[in-house]
């Protein structure tokens, strides 16, 4: 009996000890968060630059704006007593579910239309939040200088530290942001029908130009393609089938890396969201007749309609050099 009690006491003290040490660790790590490392800032910079600045450009003119500047966003989200944690939480809430209810900038929604949902992981959002929170975006002309400085400063830190699959992902995010910006710009200024012709002439060219600036090759392919040039090959179809199975079973779709002789090939899922439905959704209720006839004339063998949201629309195929 005594032994038992002693044992329980021992367990209990272990528990206490653990609680203490973990809360100690916690307060250390929040402290650490108040002073992000260069590496954390570098990661955040790379992500923010590639996925946010295309629409939240710090230096676009008012007319060419797709969304409010990051400086304006920061002003609405961070006041003198907003903690880093609170900002990260609120940013994640909006990015995970852009909506009027989650908005702190209803005027921006009126002016630009709601931000489309793009998929970011919690980890990415937290890095982006850290970068925005701890970087002064306020000074005039900061971006040109800052961008240059940061690029210099983080040159070694950024790309070289990423694994091939992460590097490919950063290429995809950059391309996605550029395509998204141009697509949204086309829809907002001239409507869906015009945007169809825009996509038709510009989507591949834009993808190529981003790829060229990154010195890589990027394609979008699908098992139900609109443009016959975007038809998936055998290996790509296998990945698409496996990914659809994952999604059916409620698993999050995962990217995949294959090795070729002197490079890697990265596959990354492309999911649909509400914004895509006007051109890839249900006929008549979502794809309106004007859009449909435009699509039919440009793509007589179009297979890319009838989708719902959160479905696999296709994949990015990215070439990543071996280091």
Q: Which is nearer to ligand HEC, 63 or 261 (CB)?
A: 63
Q: Which is nearer to ligand HEC, 59 or 156 (CB)?
A: 59
Min dist. Cβ of residue 43 to ligand HEC (A): 13
Residue 312 bridge partners (DSSP): 271
Q: Which is nearer to ligand HEC, 5 or 106 (CB)?
A: 106
CB 267 within 8 A of CB 171: no
Min dist. Cβ of residue 26 to ligand HEC (A): 26
Q: Which is nearer to ligand HEC, 167 or 173 (CB)?
A: 173
Min dist. Cβ of residue 67 to ligand HEC (A): 3
Q: Which is nearer to ligand HEC, 233 or 262 (CB)?
A: 233
b or e along 242-277 (b: 16 or more beta carbons within 10 Å of the residue's beta carbon)?
Answer: ebeeebeeeeebebbeeeeeebbbbbbbbbbeebbb
Q: Which is nearer to ligand HEC, 262 or 285 (CB)?
A: 285
Q: Which is nearer to ligand HEC, 18 or 282 (CB)?
A: 282
Min dist. Cβ of residue 271 to ligand HEC (A): 7
Min dist. Cβ of residue 27 to ligand HEC (A): 28
List residues near ligand HEC by CB under 6 A.
51-52, 54-56, 66-68, 73, 91, 94, 98, 103-105, 108-109, 112-116, 118, 120, 128, 177, 180-181, 183-184, 187, 192, 195-196, 199-200, 203-204, 220, 222, 225-227, 230, 270, 272-273, 275-276, 278-280, 304, 313-314
Min dist. Cβ of residue 228 to ligand HEC (A): 8
Min dist. Cβ of residue 270 to ligand HEC (A): 5
């Amino acid at each position: 009996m005594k032994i038992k009690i002693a044992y329980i006491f021992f367990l209990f003290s272990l528990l206490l000890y653990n609680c203490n040490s973990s809360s100690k660790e916690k307060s250390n790590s929040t402290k650490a968060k108040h002073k992000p490392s260069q590496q954390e800032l570098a990661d955040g910079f790379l992500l923010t630059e590639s996925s946010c600045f295309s629409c939240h450009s710090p230096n676009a003119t008012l007319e060419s704006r797709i969304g409010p500047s990051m400086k304006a966003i920061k002003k609405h989200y961070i006041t003198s007593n907003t903690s880093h944690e609170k900002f990260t939480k609120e940013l994640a809430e909006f990015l995970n579910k852009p909506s009027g209810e989650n908005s702190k900038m209803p005027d921006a929604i009126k002016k630009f239309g709601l931000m489309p949902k793009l998929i970011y992981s919690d980890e990415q959002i937290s890095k982006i939040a850290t970068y925005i929170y701890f970087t002064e975006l306020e000074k005039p002309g900061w971006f040109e200088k800052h961008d240059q400085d940061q690029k210099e400063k983080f040159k070694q830190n950024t790309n070289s530290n990423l694994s091939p699959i992460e590097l490919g992902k950063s290429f995809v995010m950059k391309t996605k942001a550029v395509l998204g910006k141009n697509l949204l710009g086309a829809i907002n200024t001239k409507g869906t029908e015009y945007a169809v012709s825009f996509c038709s002439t510009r989507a591949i060219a834009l993808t190529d130009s981003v790829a060229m600036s990154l010195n890589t090759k990027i394609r979008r392919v699908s098992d139900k393609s609109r443009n016959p040039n975007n038809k998936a090959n055998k290996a790509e179809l296998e990945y698409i089938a496996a990914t659809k199975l994952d999604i059916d079973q409620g698993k999050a779709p995962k990217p995949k890396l294959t090795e070729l002789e002197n490079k890697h090939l990265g596959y990354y899922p492309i999911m649909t969201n509400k914004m895509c439905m006007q051109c890839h959704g249900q006929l008549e209720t979502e794809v309106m007749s004007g859009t449909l006839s435009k699509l039919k004339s440009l793509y007589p063998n179009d297979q890319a309609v009838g989708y719902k949201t959160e479905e696999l629309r296709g994949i990015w195929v990215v070439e990543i050099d071996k280091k």
